[in-house]
Structure 1
Amino acid sequence: MNPTPSYEFDSVEHTISRLAEVGYLADRRLATTVYLLTRLIKPVLLEGPAGVGKTELAHALADSTGRRVVRLQCYEGQDESRALYEWDYGKQMLYTQMLREKIGDIVESSTGIAEAIEQIGSHDDVFFSERFLSSRPLLEAIRSEAPVVLLVDEIDRADEALEAVLLEVLAEGQISIPEIGTFVARHAPYVVLTSNNTRDLSAALKRRCLHLFLDYPDADRELQIIQSKGTGLGDAVAEHLVQVVRGLRELDLRKPPSISEAIDWARTLAVLGISELGTAELDETLSVVLKYDKDLARAREQLAALVQGEIPEPASVPAQVDAATEHAPADREGRTVRSAKDHPGRHGPGTYGERSQPAVDGQPARPRVSTGQGERSFTSKFRRRG
């Protein structure tokens, strides 16, 4: 890879101001990571709760540097061909039909099957050329004529096999295609990987990236973020709303409210013309930030205390928490609660689309694939490529 020198950001302070110009308020720690990304041309891995601005950072980086975003959205069972490239078999077959007479002329002088195959084989590179290559996000970013921001979103949802596919792109800025050769990035892409921390990522992947855990911001910065989005909510009400949202995060909720949901809540209250927060106003709009019935019930029990700015009742401590953590003072960031939940299998069956399997010795079992399912998958893939 021959990186193109990037001078979009002159310093960490300049990075903060440029991101702010496109509506992204970054603290110095985050801005330092972004600055290093552009100077070292090294991917950055952002881990943290959903809705804290990880994906939005990639778009802000693109807006502030004049690049476009190439996005790879990861999901369970994703085939590497959906991330890298695919051969356009339909187009190949169409060309074969159109050139049938020409192929006949090529093998006309052959004296046997072996010789005919040899003659046809001398032209197979015509059908395995860039003309029949369908670029997917990773190859698109490498082949792009203009510099891009490559966003690999929610890498923790994908299987570990996809992580291995990414290594060549992250480390060398290139993709190898056996039938053609190696494509090296014309312009070094800025690579941003995001993870909601639903599973541990490989050491090989992390070793190739700058790493940053992006947590919920402090109260002052969260208020600044909400005010910067032009929600239409008064400053006093917005400040009170931030206190309520941060109080909700202290509860033992399955899905704590994210920053983006807090912004949506502010817009909702502004549309309703709310000038002062009360229990009734919050209760009527609570579903904007909480998406599960148990979370709603838990929050409604604490609404009166939250409106008064009181600290919610302590969340139940999971069995995995040791004595030191159990007696740690409550923090307004909710880090203690989240750290206590950071253990293998913490999300349980059915969460994030996981397959439900019976636990073995208290540990969730790995998804099993039956022989018939494997045969069907192989057969369908074989037929598609035949």
Structure 2
Amino acid sequence: MGDAHTAGSVPAQDGALEQRWWIYRGTGQPLYDTSLGALLPPPPPWRRFTGGPVVAPPPADDEEIERRLGQVSASSTGSDQLRREADMVNAALLLRRPLLVTGRPGTGKSSLAYRISRELKLGRVLRWHITSRTTLRSGLYDYDAIGRVQDAAALRTLRDAGAGADRAAGGRAPSEEELPGIGDYVQLGPLGTALLPHEVPRVLLVDELDKCDQDLANDLLSVFEEGQFPIPELLRAQRQHPRVTVMTDDPRRDAEIVGGTVTCRAFPVVVITSNGEREFPPAFLRRCLRLRMPDPDRPQLVDMVMAHLRDAVEGPPDSARADGLVDRFLRNSRERGGLAVDQLLNAVFLATSGRFRGDNEEALEDLVDALWHRLDGAGAESRAG
């Protein structure tokens, strides 16, 4: 009885069960000697896209991923929550559907996108931070019409000024062809870049969608369903410029757009986060997979502390102090309506910095109490205040 495993499951190294159908395992370890392209089966027929020409692989961004996740380390994969998380990430991968992640602020919703990118080796995460003023177009692309008009006016001035000199010297005045092409005034946003025809899916983080204007969720439906979007400025110019190279959201990267329309090839891994400040339309929810992110448990918090501050907490005194702070954090989080993981990391960093020894212990206690203020704004003052 004790040695029997669930059908379709295999034991992980720490005794947890991993499902055979999983591609993403949530272990924190990057794929070894393989790639997502080799592991990912074809999409459902209704989610098949054929955009082209295929663009270059995305740039790596290991520095940003390490800043957000800490060093690569094996995570504790035994909890029901982490297995549920892996189930939903893999379902989103196979079905080519967005994953809507809800939960309290500070529970690690956004970090999931970076964990997926690191483990599946998908390169730089495209992050689209949503505010009340965000529009669909801002995520798709930006067209600098004013800059183009100014450059055209400057060209005309230069041409008019040079006409007399050209006649006298036999030279050539600048032509319209010498004006930078329309592509120099178009830059794709995070969503637009994610929908380029990549051979392997990009990771797109749509952060805090619940902050958006009420129409944005509905506007996203068409883009997510069609896997493409037009750029009207390029459509109008396609007779003269059927293939246009534009800038992307990736630094110093560009891509070729054919016929004025961006069409994806591999639907991106879309992670949408929400703090639950508003309800989304039923039609939007129907097209998303949903994952509720609960507060991290003690093993997860220890994993996070070790990933970010392993060197600082290796010695016995600092290790014991960090353990004590984790336990205290869990108690305070329950009492104060939930705290954020970065509040714990800040406290452990200060406690293991070597700046609070002997007589300074009381000062540290006051500081930690101030750091762990309620996220609704109450109790932000330290006891000394």
TM-score bin (small chain): 0.5 to 0.7
1:154–1:196 contact (8 Å) kept in structure 2: yes
Q: What residue in structure 1 maps to residue 223 of structure 2?
A: 169
Give the aligned residue type for 1:216: D
Q: What residue in structure 1 maps to residue 340 of structure 2?
A: 258
Aligned partner of residue 198 in structure 1, secondary structure? coil
Q: Distance in 2 between matches of 1:14 and 1:45?
A: 17
1:46–1:192 contact (8 Å) kept in structure 2: yes
Q: Distance in 1 between matches of 2:302 and 2:28?
A: 20
Q: What residue in structure 2 maps to residue 53 of structure 1?
A: 108
Aligned partner of residue 62 in structure 1, secondary structure? helix
Aligned partner of residue 188 in structure 1, secondary structure? coil
2:23–2:90 contact (8 Å) kept in structure 1: no
Render the CA deviation track for 1:44-89: whole Å, top value 9, x for unaligned: 1111111111111112212222222111111112233322223221
Return the TM-score normalized by structure 1.
Answer: 0.59
Aligned partner of residue 191 in structure 2, secondary structure? helix
Q: Distance in 2 between matches of 1:273 and 1:291?
A: 25
Q: 2:301 pairs with 222, 226, 229, which one?
A: 222
Q: 2:139 pairs with 70, 79, 83, which one?
A: 83
CA shift for structure 1 position 128: 11
* Percent identity of paired positions between Structure 1 and Structure 2: 26
Return the TM-score normalized by structure 2.
Answer: 0.59
Task: State yes or no: 1:244 paired with 2:328.
Answer: yes
Instruction: Label 1:246 to 1:153 Cα distance change in 2 as closer, same or farther (>3 A).
Output: same
Aligned partner of residue 309 in structure 2, secondary structure? coil
Count of aligned pairs between the two proteins: 269
Q: Would you tell me which structure has more helix in proportion to its own residues?
A: 1
1:227–1:235 contact (8 Å) kept in structure 2: no
Q: Distance in 1 between matches of 2:344 and 2:129?
A: 24
Q: Distance in 1 between matches of 2:222 and 2:20?
A: 29
Instruction: Label 1:149 to 1:205 Cα distance change in 2 as closer, same or farther (>3 A).
Output: same
Aligned pairs (5 A) from 1:146-161: 147-161=201-215
Task: State yes or no: 1:295 paired with 2:379.
Answer: yes
Q: Distance in 1 between matches of 2:99 and 2:357?
A: 41
Instruction: Label 1:62 to 1:24 Cα distance change in 2 as closer, same or farther (>3 A).
Output: farther
1:216–1:259 contact (8 Å) kept in structure 2: no
Q: 2:288 pairs with 199, 209, 219, which one?
A: 209
1:78–1:159 contact (8 Å) kept in structure 2: yes
Aligned partner of residue 17 in structure 1, secondary structure? coil
Q: What residue in structure 2 maps to residue 192 of structure 1?
A: 271
Q: Distance in 1 between matches of 2:147 and 2:214?
A: 31
Q: What residue in structure 1 maps to residue 148 of structure 2?
A: 92
Q: 1:36 pairs with 75, 83, 91, which one?
A: 91
CA shift for structure 1 position 291: 6.8
Give the aligned residue type for 2:138: R
1:237–1:275 contact (8 Å) kept in structure 2: no
Q: What residue in structure 1 maps to residue 196 of structure 2?
A: 143
Instruction: Label 1:69 to 1:45 Cα distance change in 2 as closer, same or farther (>3 A).
Output: same
Taking only aligned residues, the RMSD between alpha carbons, in angstroms, comes to: 3.8
Instruction: Label 1:170 to 1:252 Cα distance change in 2 as closer, same or farther (>3 A).
Output: same
CA shift for structure 1 position 240: 1.9
Render the CA deviation track for 1:179-202: whole Å, top value 9, x for unaligned: 525421133211111111122222
1:261–1:289 contact (8 Å) kept in structure 2: yes
Provide structure 1 residue ranges, at least 5 long, that are not aligned to the other structure: 1-8, 102-126, 302-386
Instruction: Label 1:239 to 1:12 Cα distance change in 2 as closer, same or farther (>3 A).
Output: farther
Aligned partner of residue 59 in structure 1, secondary structure? helix
Q: 2:124 pairs with 68, 73, 78, which one?
A: 68
Q: Distance in 2 between matches of 1:270 and 1:39?
A: 43
